[in-house]
Amino acid sequence: MSESNDKIEQFSAKFQELRDKISTVIVGQEQVVEDLLIVVLAGGHALIEGAPGLGKTQLVRTFADATQLEFGRVQFTPDLMPADVTGTTVMRQQSNSQDLAFEFEAGPVFCNVLLADEINRATPKTQSALLEAMQERSVTISGTVHQLPQPFVVLATQNPLEMEGTYPLPEAQLDRFLFKILVERPDSETLRRILFITTGEKTASIDPIFSQTELMEMQQILRSVPIASSAIDYVVSISEASHKHEMLRLGASPRGAQAMVLAAKGYALAAGRPNVELEDIKRAAVPALRHRLLLSFEAEVAGVDTDTIIQELLAQ
């Protein structure tokens, strides 16, 4: 039992250290930083949405800097092709002969942390290039399966869909993101702090405090957290209720229920607790489900959003 408690304390201490370090660069977004860390430690991927200039890309870069993980970046544009993301086979002359042979040239997806910047500016064909990588942690090129490095996490940023020149992500891809994290505009006091930090002689930076091995150990600790059958029943009831809600065309998927459970385990460990409470599930429900629920026509006309419906489901 003491060994288990030691692991919980180590997880909580490391989580808080990492959160506090990132928060020195990403000012006033404590909830966003926490949710991002929960996604990574749960072994998932995150979709980060917000208007331009709110620090979405800086958040991902800061996380990569703090974790000693190999970082890759793809700037999604309308003319980006799938091979620009995954890689391709090229004909090369062999060094020891005049013979030509096909060789695989890895794309930027072969890394630990992939920043898919402005993912909804690329066409659906290019967006779908990430589907296999996000689910199977592999890429198939010319019939050959290439395994991605472990751990592997996609942190994708996107601008709100009402902005010009964006393509909506298909439901199959949205479902592969553990969380959809919203970055809100800072209030006036937070903006003052940001201006002081970012416009001085020295810009804020952090040193690596987190290794690849430590991350994978924390992912294993998170999955080992026990969860009561009553908590599982609560997740199931939320999922079932979403399929019966009159304002929804599509309710929560099994992946959505899995996301709630894994994130709830992460929140419990971050708070130094050995077990999941219902409050952890409630906290995980909104970011885990907001991108998985499809609104009915009536809900769209009435201006109801998925966050409001999720709160209704939790209230029931």
pLDDT digits (tens, 9 = 90+) for 88-111: 877 777 767 777 777 888 889 999
| Tokens coding 109 | 């997806």
Number of domain units in the chain:
2
Q: Helices then strands (H, E): number in the chain?
A: 14, 11
Is residue 316 helix, strand or coil?
A: coil
Strand 87-93 relative to strand 100-106, pairing: antiparallel
Q: How does the average pLDDT of the chain come out, rounded?
A: 89
Same domain, 28 and 160: yes
Q: What is the mean pLDDT of residues 17-37?
A: 90
Does the CA dihedral 277-279-282-284 come out positive or negative?
negative
Report which of residues 13 and 165 the model is more confident about.
13
Could you tell me which residues come within 8 angstroms of residue 266 by beta carbon, excluding any fewer than 6 positions away?
Answer: 37, 38, 41, 42, 222
Same domain, 45 and 139: yes
CA distances from 258 to 55, 239, 252 (A): 29, 10, 10
Run of H or E residues at 301: helix 297-302
| Tokens coding 85 | 């993301």
Does residue 197 lie within any of the structural domains? no
Phi, psi of 266 (to 5 degrees): -65, -45
Using pLDDT thresholds of 50, 70 and 90, give the confidence band for residue 56.
confident
Does residue 122 lie within any of the structural domains? yes
- pLDDT tens, residue by residue, 204-248: 677 888 888 888 999 999 999 999 999 999 999 999 999 999 999
Does residue 149 lie within any of the structural domains? yes
Residue where one domain finishes, among candidates 224, 256, 282: 224
Q: What is the mean pLDDT of residues 177-191?
A: 91
Using pLDDT thresholds of 50, 70 and 90, give the confidence band for residue 267.
very high
